[in-house]
Chain A
């Protein structure tokens, strides 16, 4: 519901947590920004009507399982461009619209020029196994052990249990080569991926772009970026934008490993390249990214969570990080348990929160940084999708909780940067700061009760200008995983409604069964609050005023207020 916003006169730059001009991160309003800066493909999107609008109601009733045989004949051997162009013509000649009769369960006339592969989407296990016997590409030298394991996986693939999983994510190449599947082996899913590509190419042939398919229970989201097609099939109640944002993150994660230059290069050289060769070991990070997105609001908000720390400690830590001054060293980042402790950057260079999320995921997704000092290339797609940074990654304490990342542009600078690390650590130890930060980490971040606002059960506050957010521990009743996920789901819904592209709102007050939620978005901040169900509207609005005052009072502790540069 709409309501007048409480008159607090908060403008951008004066909200709690806002600093002067010296920002650590690019200020990102919300994911609209992320999606709007896409390349050429999105412009053409606007010219064309979205598929599900065009096809109208009928598509809404389209169950995934209804994808049946006829469509399968529209097959996907677009190994070279010419062939593909050819398909387009045929589609048009034969009357694309007639072909796309969704009510009858999607029928398309078989295209004579194309090889007819006979597969159905919901194969039973035996069929899936047969699919699995399709000869593999030569690039699978290292996969002997994996494919023997995959024959076991393939029995799970397409099973009821597999279908009922909450969110599937698939990545495939434009030639239909499977690249990644969140669950089940890619080999076992190759025919299914073929169907996904068929959908994308079919719609593309009609000069449209496939964005999403909606059914009662599922949303199928498509994203076609460069040579990659990303698809998610989810049961969650997330909005299209949120699902698209997740796919963008998956895409960015892949870019962070390869750079866009390398990605385009390999596919230009060989269109049916098996990208898994180059991505080897990245599945782990894609999995952890997808899991993290299900529980950490930082992705939803495109903001960074800071470790609550007395400002004096944080400032000293920043000064210590400043010791890591070296030529070509661009960012020094200190992370603790998926939270940012502080960051020092080269003058005039800012980091996009999305890039920091990828760094968080890198550190939390692998234990291989625990030994020694790691030196690895990493691309930060929002900073520059074409080049690598070289990251020096090491833990500063025995318990491996405090992780220092030093990002340099010089490939050969390991020993210089390693020396920087020693200087930083020496200074941190001298002032006993490692211990001070550990202390802050050991106790729970903070409890909502500290804000002293009655009936308030939880909140998330994002300061827009600095792209930082804060939220208390999830105390009772949100101390079980299910309850946490439920609350996060509510926040997601709230977020999607308040940021709805067609009808953005400023304030939402919503009474659910177990709680009352109030979300408020202004030029300066976004606030999502969760109250007990019995709260009144007037009390809730009074409460958030009080909460904002508390955040303002605590801002020095909750946010990075004095970011430093080298």
Chain B
């Protein structure tokens, strides 16, 4: 089976649930008291799909302001960026727009953008209407999906959508070569090897 590497980074305001989404996707677990990410966390996940094995290389970045300046380091080498907002907090949706702008100006060309409205299980507290976000996503030609890491809604679907949209033969970008060093191995889904 062919192995396809998919480099994805998650961006978004602090507390919107980026790490929870990754945690749900990679380990299928959810921790309500998860600690804020420090710097950025790198994880991998292998998913067999049709005749291929998709290997996701995921950068889960910290949303806090002091780490903002590091973000280019992570999205520069990515084929896709998931920008996450919290449907119960309107300001996180505004923050999402600044992330989109930053990607448009400084991100790699042809980067696949996905917009994820997380915490969609908290319908009662919704502040950002689905239509609004959806229209915005269409206007920038981004994937739009509402997710819930807590109840595991649309998480793996989102990553599947991304994998469909990332072109199979990746255009030659100026990646660091170190990105491709990982040996072919069919080990467990998490990055830990012990």
Contacts and interface: CB of A to CB of B under 8 A. Distances in A.
A280 B60 CA distance: 17
A280 B64 contact: yes
B194 A434 contact: yes
Interface centre among A367, A374, A396 (most CB of B within 10 A): A374
Interface string A392-414: 01111110000000000001101
A397 B42 contact: no
B38 A142 contact: no
A306 to B, nearest CB: 23
B179 interface: yes
Interface in B27-67: 27, 34-43, 60, 62, 64-67
Contact of A141 (B38, B62, B91): B91
Contacts of A9: none
Interface centre among A141, A281, A369, A418 (most CB of B within 10 A): A281
A279 interface: yes
Contact of B70 (A377, A416, A434): A377
A398 B192 contact: yes
A434 B43 CA distance: 22
A278 interface: yes
B176 A415 contact: yes
A374 B37 CA distance: 9
Given A371-B19, A412-B176, A429-B194, A279 B181 contact: no
B73 A416 contact: no
B14 A281 contact: yes
B193 A422 contact: yes
A373 B191 contact: yes
Contacts of A362: 38
Contacts of B19: 368, 371
Contacts of A175: none
Interface centre among B43, B60, B64 (most CB of A within 10 A): B64
B174 interface: no
A165 B117 CA distance: 42
A419 B91 contact: no
B34 A368 contact: yes
Contact of B39 (A277, A377, A425): A377
A257 B192 contact: no
Contacts of B178: 414-416, 419
A411 to B, nearest CB: 7
Given A142-B91, A366-B35, A280 B194 contact: no
A418 B42 contact: yes
Interface in A127-157: 141-142, 144-145
Contact of A375 (B26, B42, B176): B42
Interface residues of A, number: 42
Contacts of A368: 19, 34-38, 41
B45 to A, nearest CB: 10
A372 B40 CA distance: 10
A341 B192 CA distance: 21
B156 to A, nearest CB: 17
A58 B121 CA distance: 62
A281 B15 CA distance: 11
Given A280-B14, A415-B176, A429-B194, A376 B65 contact: no
A397 B194 contact: yes
A415 B73 contact: no
Nearest to A139: B65
B52 to A, nearest CB: 23
Nearest to A258: B66
A398 B15 CA distance: 26
Contacts of B14: 142, 280-281
Nearest to A373: B42
Contacts of A377: 39, 67, 70
B13 interface: yes
A365 to B, nearest CB: 9
Contacts of A429: 194
Interface centre among B39, B40, B181 (most CB of A within 10 A): B39
A549 interface: no
Nearest to A429: B194
Interface string A350-363: 00000000000010
A492 B22 CA distance: 45
Interface string B153-194: 000000000000000000000001011010000000011111
A374 to B, nearest CB: 5
A431 interface: no
B64 A281 contact: yes
A256 B61 CA distance: 19
B39 A142 contact: no
Contacts of B23: 371
Interface string B112-128: 00000000000000000
Contacts of B13: 142
A376 B65 CA distance: 14
Contacts of B73: 411-412
A411 B39 CA distance: 12
B42 A277 contact: no
Nearest to B60: A372
Nearest to A434: B194
A542 interface: no
Contacts of A103: none
A247 to B, nearest CB: 22
A277 B176 contact: no
A484 to B, nearest CB: 27
Contacts of A144: 89, 91
Nearest to B37: A368
A372 B64 contact: no
Contacts of B22: 371-372
A284 B64 CA distance: 13
B91 A279 contact: no
Contacts of A372: 22, 26, 41-43, 60, 190-191
Given A142-B91, A278-B65, A412-B176, A369 B194 contact: no
A144 B13 CA distance: 14
Contacts of A367: 34-35
B93 to A, nearest CB: 13
Nearest to B94: A141
Nearest to A394: B192
Interface in A408-441: 411-412, 414-416, 418-419, 422, 425, 429, 434
16 contacts: A277-B65, A366-B36, A368-B34, A368-B36, A368-B41, A371-B23, A371-B27, A372-B43, A374-B39, A376-B67, A391-B39, A394-B192, A398-B192, A415-B178, A415-B181, A419-B181
Given A141-B91, A362-B38, A366-B38, 4 more contacts: A144-B91, A367-B34, A368-B34, A374-B42
A-B pairs, 9 with minimum CB distance = A376-B39, A415-B178, A372-B43, A368-B35, A280-B64, A372-B41, A281-B36, A366-B35, A373-B42
